[in-house]
Amino acid sequence: MIEDAQGRKRKRVRMGWALALLLLLLAVLIVPPMVSVSRYKSGITRLISASLGRPVRLSSVEVRLLPRPGFVLTDLAVAEDPAFGAEPILHANTVTASIRLLSLWRGRLEIGQISVDEASLNLVRTDAGRWNLDSLFRGAAAGVSDTRAKRPLPYLEATNSRINIKSGVEKLPFSLVNTDLSFWQEHPGDWRIRLRGQPARTDLSLQQGDTGTVRLEASLRSAPHLRQMPVHLDLEWREAQLGQLSRLIVGSDPGWRGDLTGELHVDGTAEAAHVTTRLRAAGVHRAEFAPVAPLDFDARCAFNYHFTSRSVEALSCDSPLGDGHLRLSGDLPGDQAGDHSGELADSAPHLVAELDRIPVAAGLDALRTVRSDFAPGIEARGSVSGKMTYAPLPLNPPLEKPSAKPSAQASALHGHAAKPHPAPTGPLTGSLTVDGFQLSGGSLTTPVLVPKLVLEPAAEEDGQALISTVSIPAGGTAPLMFTARFALSGYRIAVHGQAGVARARELAQMAAVQNAALLDAVMGDPLAVDFIAEGPWMPAEKIPFSGDSALSGAAAAPSASAPPIVSGPPTTDRITGTVTLHNANWKSDYLANHVLIGQATLHLEEGQMRWDPVAFTYGPVKGTASLTLPVHCAQPACVPRFQMQFAQLDASALEAAILGAQEKVTLISTLLARLRPAAAPVWPHLEGTVKADSLLLGPLTLHAASAEIRMAETGAEVTSFDATLLGGSVHGSGALQTPKSAQEKPVYSFTGNFAKLSPAAVGQLLDQHWSGSALDASGKVELTGFTQKELAASANGTVHFDWQRGAVAGPSVPADLARFDRWSADAEIANGSITVKQNELRRGPKTSAISASATLGVQPKLTYAKPAETQAKR
């Protein structure tokens, strides 16, 4: 019987559950259509508006019973305070509002939770430094205070949403995407916030997974103003890749790699908050460079911050670095007015930096991280220790009391020794000592050693900097003196003294000086060096919106005691000065012999390197030259340009010197022995001008010769040639095509126009007596070969001349040439001679043709044939 009773009981329980489920299903199907949702729409709108303290707009409301009774709101928009813009502070297409069931038993409608998905939230900051959240919290606090007993603030949550950042009415490209946000009250007036999102930019394409994840946990208590609200905040930015983080902040990737994690903890109020931070980095390096030891660091800071005065008190930062430690402490008062009566103002900042055995290698690796081309392969040793203090001097220092003893400065002016450490003239005091400094590896065959180096502050025009002077032996009779200046904006190194050519080449390669390879083929006496190298620590990057007061803090005037703002550094390195060579020789692959340089001065100027003047001797050829090498411009856009000047130049001697001729009489050198066993040399890309007071070209002498030459790997082009010869002038152009293999020969071509040539000079060249008016000629010729015989045999071209009112006298000269009115002829160059072809000799009404030819050689020989006469038509 007991079993039967239990069975009936279980059956009744099942029937009860089935009936409840049936009733629930009927309620789901029947009740929502019967409920008048329209009468709840205005109530829900007023309820949310009262809870947030802002006007709220809804498009429609639907009832939902499962899985929890509530409403589905469509097109929710929370209005913005007009002081911050017209765009809604929050907008969501679909919102779910859950009902508090207990409130229904009391006859009231209360919303317990509001859930939104894919919402858009705007954070706005005005130029005056106010945030729109300030008025939102105050409005919500007022709403809760007025209706605390009736309508507490509901639980707000947003998933997969977006938080936009605005400066006034301008929407900035920075935002948080894929954001999950929760906002609720644990007790009346006690808010909790939880956030998780990914930083992003709307104007750039970023690898979203590498920008890291931002997590925030915060609790706030109600107060009349946002800055007075007690707050506890924990913010963490994890796993941010430095390359994508740089693109996120400055808009470009400078090539940094590594992972960065930052933490921020705040307790107190904005007026008096205790802040602790931690910044950790792992594997920091450049994309193309991996340091021997990773540049990992773990920096921790703690300070007290006051929002009204923008001041920082009790700052204390500590970070291990290698085997050493870096510490920073002090106070940074804000905009409070100070006492200018002679003592330090209350608002004067005071900072102390302490370095304890910081490795020099860490500084070199850090510099390589921001400068990819700095000292490749170089290793550094040594450590830096010391203490530096920043404390501005009084604005009105008290007058010194008269003393019987002269001051240190007065003693120095009268010839007495001054104190080794004069009184500081700026806010920066102290010193840093580098022990055991050593540079080795890379291009250095011998390490650079400096046992002790002291950096001390000194005042300059643009502020204070750390300055030190050391001497380093470099193979000259006097050492190189280095005066280094290091400031926040950049560096400046002045170098003066002497250095051996080999050591100078090593130092130039170590510093990645452009065109340092020019010293590879130079040998000679030590160089005289006098130059200054300066530049920023890293190329300047313009940070978007950096001038916007919305991001740079309140628009408050800087404190009078704050450190001066120094203008921005140059965006690239600059080297200015001179390097002088004496008694050196230079050998290049494309020249047959060494060039002896008596003296040459290299001028390092803005954007270029200029050798001027260069006094050189090359075999029997002597002259002066200049060479300009653009520094910040690559070929073919910028080609080095040269100028050469000769007093007297023999073409055969020049060709023999340049190309290695063995026969003195050879006009173009015999390169067979040098070129045929191996490939032809590659000539550099050069452009320039060659000038000569007199140019000896076989039997001809040209005066005031000038040629514009463009050199390339496959040869050279004479774009313009001008000179005076034979009493007239010549203007032309030419080209040289170098052989591509040992079996080929060089090819030469020339085109020229000759104007107003003296008949007497032309006749003297041909061993004849010519007289009369000046003659004009033009022609072109192409030659191939190495020796004079090959060139004469391969010569091929044409010549045209026109001579009016002339006369030719001499043995075997045709009678018609004794005197004529005009002789116009075309000649052909072939088979080692010039042969007159189509021509017309006119004397009065009589015309005739002359047959003549001239052999090509050192002494041309002109021969005539019997003329053929024709009678002119009347």
707-723 pLDDT, tens per residue? 999 988 878 899 999 99
776-815 pLDDT, tens per residue? 999 999 988 776 677 778 889 999 999 999 998 877 888 8
In terms of Cα–Cα distance, which of 713, 719, 718 is closest to 740?
A: 713
pLDDT at 404: 45
867/733 Cα distance (integer angstroms)? 35
Average pLDDT over residues 656-664: 50
pLDDT at 35: 47
Owner of token pair 């005071």: 350
408/424 Cα distance (integer angstroms)? 13
**CB–CB of 451/436 below 8 Å?**
yes
Q: Give me the residues paired with residue 219 across strands.
A: 192, 232
pLDDT at 339: 44
pLDDT at 383: 93
710/716 Cα distance (integer angstroms)? 6
The H or E element spanning position 160 is strand 155-167
Best-predicted range by mean pLDDT (393-407, 559-573, 678-692): 678-692
Q: Give me the residues paired with residue 807 across strands.
A: 771
Instruction: Label residue 564 by pLDDT band (50, 70, 90).
Output: very low
pLDDT at 619: 79
501/514 Cα distance (integer angstroms)? 16
Average pLDDT over residues 161-176: 87
The one-letter amino acid code at 388 reads M
Higher local confidence (pLDDT), 636 or 769 = 769
- Write phi, then psi, for 115 (nearest 5 degrees): -120, 130
388-399 pLDDT, tens per residue? 998 876 655 554
224/597 Cα distance (integer angstroms)? 83
449/37 Cα distance (integer angstroms)? 87
472/451 Cα distance (integer angstroms)? 11
Q: Is the peptide bond before 636 cis (omega within 30 degrees of 0)?
A: yes
Q: Does 365 have pLDDT greater than 90?
A: no
pLDDT at 567: 38
Best-predicted range by mean pLDDT (11-20, 41-50, 281-290, 490-499): 490-499
126/750 Cα distance (integer angstroms)? 75
Is the Cα dihedral 734, 739, 740, 744 positive or negative? positive
Domain ranges of the chain: 29-206, 686-870
Exposure b/e, 57-88, CB count within 10 A at least 16 = b: ebeebebbeeeeebbebeebbbbbbeebbebb
* Both tokens assigned to 464: 């204070």
Q: Kindly state the percentage of the chain with pLDDT values over 90.
A: 24
Summary mean pLDDT of the chain: 77
Which of 36-50, 182-196, 275-289, 754-768 is predicted with the least confidence, judged by mean pLDDT?
A: 36-50
- Write phi, then psi, for 754 (nearest 5 degrees): -110, 130
Best-predicted range by mean pLDDT (51-55, 235-239, 711-715, 730-734): 730-734
* Strands (DSSP E) found in 713-831: 715-725, 728-737, 747-757, 769-772, 775-784, 796-809, 820-830
3-state percent breakdown (helix, strand, coil) of the chain, nearest 5: 20, 50, 35
Alpha-helix residue ranges (DSSP H) falling in 77-216: 101-105, 132-146
- CA Rg value for the chain: 45
**CB–CB of 791/665 below 8 Å?**
no
299/315 Cα distance (integer angstroms)? 13
96/111 Cα distance (integer angstroms)? 10
pLDDT at 100: 66
Q: Does 686 have pLDDT greater than 80?
A: yes
Q: Give me the residues paired with residue 777 across strands.
A: 754, 801
* Both tokens assigned to 574: 């600059």
The H or E element spanning position 848 is strand 846-849
81-120 pLDDT, tens per residue? 888 888 888 888 888 877 765 555 555 656 677 888 888 8
Which of 539-543, 678-682, 699-703, 813-817 is predicted with the least confidence, judged by mean pLDDT?
A: 539-543
Instruction: Label residue 140 by pLDDT band (50, 70, 90).
Output: low
Q: Does 666 have pLDDT greater than 60?
A: no
Average pLDDT over residues 547-568: 37
850-872 pLDDT, tens per residue? 888 888 776 777 888 765 554 44
Q: Does 733 have pLDDT greater than 90?
A: yes
Q: What is the 3-state secondary structure (H, E, C) of 373-388?
A: CCCCCEEEEEEEEEEE
pLDDT at 756: 93
Owner of token pair 């908050």: 273
**CB–CB of 691/706 below 8 Å?**
yes
pLDDT at 798: 94
Instruction: Label residue 701 by pLDDT band (50, 70, 90).
Output: confident
Q: Is 830 helix (H, G, I), strand (E, B) or coil?
A: strand
**CB–CB of 121/161 below 8 Å?**
yes
pLDDT at 515: 66
Q: What is the 3-state secondary structure (H, E, C) of 506-558?
A: HHHHHCCCCCHHHHHHEEECCEEEEEEEEECCCCCCCCCCCCCHHHHCCCCCC
* Both tokens assigned to 834: 């010039």
Q: Does 699 have pLDDT greater than 80?
A: no
Instruction: Label residue 655 by pLDDT band (50, 70, 90).
Output: low
**What's the predicted TM-score (pTM) here?**
0.65
Average pLDDT over residues 473-494: 89
pLDDT at 341: 42
pLDDT at 659: 54
In terms of Cα–Cα distance, which of 359, 394, 401, 352 is closest to 380?
A: 359
Q: Is 752 helix (H, G, I), strand (E, B) or coil?
A: strand
**CB–CB of 863/852 below 8 Å?**
yes
241-277 pLDDT, tens per residue? 888 887 888 777 777 788 889 999 999 987 889 999 9
Q: Does 384 have pLDDT greater than 90?
A: yes
pLDDT at 136: 65
Average pLDDT over residues 723-744: 85
pLDDT at 7: 66
Average pLDDT over residues 136-143: 58
Instruction: Label residue 539 by pLDDT band (50, 70, 90).
Output: low
pLDDT at 692: 93
364/355 Cα distance (integer angstroms)? 16
Q: Of how many residues is the chain composed?
A: 874
Cα within 13 Å of Cα(808), Cβ side: 24
* Both tokens assigned to 815: 């009678």
pLDDT at 854: 84
* Strands (DSSP E) found in 556-682: 574-586, 595-605, 608-618, 621-630, 641-650
568/553 Cα distance (integer angstroms)? 20
61/762 Cα distance (integer angstroms)? 111
pLDDT at 37: 54
- Beta pairing class for 111-117 and 155-167: parallel
Best-predicted range by mean pLDDT (139-148, 230-239, 546-555): 230-239
DSSP 226-287: GGGS-EEEEEEEEEEEHHHHHHHHHSS--SEEEEEEEEEEEEE-SSSEEEEEEEEEEEEEET
Instruction: Label residue 828 by pLDDT band (50, 70, 90).
Output: very high
292-350 pLDDT, tens per residue? 666 678 899 999 998 888 889 999 999 988 788 899 999 988 765 444 444 444 567 89
pLDDT at 734: 93
Q: Kindly state the percentage of the chain with pLDDT values over 70.
A: 73
Angle value at C-alpha 510, between 462 and 687, nearest 5 degrees: 90
DSSP 773: S
Q: Give me the residues paired with residue 624 across strands.
A: 615, 645
Is the Cα dihedral 534, 537, 541, 542 positive or negative? negative
Which of 60-64, 69-73, 423-427 is predicted with the least confidence, judged by mean pLDDT?
A: 423-427
